[in-house]
Structure 1
Amino acid sequence: MAAGKEFDFHFDEALRKRGVTGAYSLLLGADQGRTPPEEISSFVDGVVAGVRQRAVRDLIASDPVYAGFRELHKTFEVPTRKLFSASETLIRYVEKRGDIPRIGPLVDVYNAVSLETKLSLGAHDLAAVAGGISVRLTTGAERYHPVGAAEPEPVRPGEYGYIDGDGTGSPEVICRLEVRQSEKTKVTPATRDVFLIVQGNAATSPADVQAGHDRLTGLLQRFFGGEVVSLHRP
Structure 2
Amino acid sequence: MTQGTRLIRFQHSDAIRSEYPELVAGTVAAAGITPDGAADSLIAKFTAVAQARLATGTEAEFPEIQAWRRAFSRMGLKPTQYRCASESLLRRFRKEGALPRIHPLVDLCNAISLAFAIPVAVFDVAAVSGGLEVRHARGDEDYLAFSGETEHPDAREVIFADAAGRAHARRWTNRQSGHSSVRETTAAVLIVAEAMHGSAAADVPDLVAAIADGLGEVWRTSPETAIPTPSSPRVEFSL
Change (3 A) 1:4 1:204: farther
Normalising by structure 2, we get a TM-score of: 0.84
Q: Which AA in structure 2 matches 1:27?
A: A
Secondary structure of residue in 1 paired with 2:29: strand
Q: CA deviation at 1:202?
A: 4.1
Structure 1 distance, partners of 2:48, 2:205, is 24
1:149 maps to 2:152: no
Moved more, 68-77 or 17-26: 17-26
User: 1:223 matched to which residue of 2?
Assistant: 218
User: 2:232 matched to which residue of 1?
Assistant: none
Tell me if structure 1 keeps the 8 A contact 2:11–2:134.
yes
Gapped regions of structure 1 (runs ≥ 5): none
Secondary structure of residue in 2 paired with 1:165: coil
Q: CA deviation at 1:41?
A: 2.0
Q: CA deviation at 1:156?
A: 1.4
User: 2:233 matched to which residue of 1?
Assistant: none
User: 1:196 matched to which residue of 2?
Assistant: 191
Please, what is the CA RMSD of the aligned residues? 2.2
Alignment match of 2:203 (pick from 208, 213, 218): 208
Structure 1 distance, partners of 2:10, 2:61, is 34
Q: C-alpha offsets along residues 85-130 of structure 1, whole Å, 9 cap, x if unaligned?
A: 1111111011110011211110001001101111100111111112
User: 2:9 matched to which residue of 1?
Assistant: 8
1:23 maps to 2:26: yes
Q: C-alpha offsets along residues 31-86 of structure 1, whole Å, 9 cap, x if unaligned?
A: 343x44xxx22332333233224336953222111111111111111256321111
Change (3 A) 1:105 1:15: same
Secondary structure of residue in 2 paired with 1:7: strand
1:103 maps to 2:102: yes
Q: Which AA in structure 1 matches 2:33?
A: A
Structure 2 distance, partners of 1:186, 1:10, is 19
Structure 2 distance, partners of 1:189, 1:12, is 32
Gapped regions of structure 2 (runs ≥ 5): 230-239
Q: CA deviation at 1:10?
A: 2.9
Q: Which AA in structure 2 matches 1:23?
A: G
Moved more, 223-232 or 103-112: 223-232
Structure 1 distance, partners of 2:6, 2:148, is 34
Q: CA deviation at 1:172?
A: 0.8
User: 1:160 matched to which residue of 2?
Assistant: 158
1:182 maps to 2:185: no
Tell me if structure 2 keeps the 8 A contact 1:57–1:95.
no
Tell me if structure 2 keeps the 8 A contact 1:32–1:224.
no
Q: Which AA in structure 1 matches 2:144?
A: H
User: 2:69 matched to which residue of 1?
Assistant: 70
Structure 1 distance, partners of 2:75, 2:201, is 21
Give aligned-pair identity as a percent.
Answer: 24
Moved more, 65-74 or 196-205: 196-205
Tell me if structure 2 keeps the 8 A contact 1:55–1:94.
no
Tell me if structure 2 keeps the 8 A contact 1:122–1:196.
yes
Q: CA deviation at 1:221?
A: 1.7
Secondary structure of residue in 1 paired with 2:69: helix
Secondary structure of residue in 2 paired with 1:124: strand
Q: Which AA in structure 2 matches 1:152?
A: T
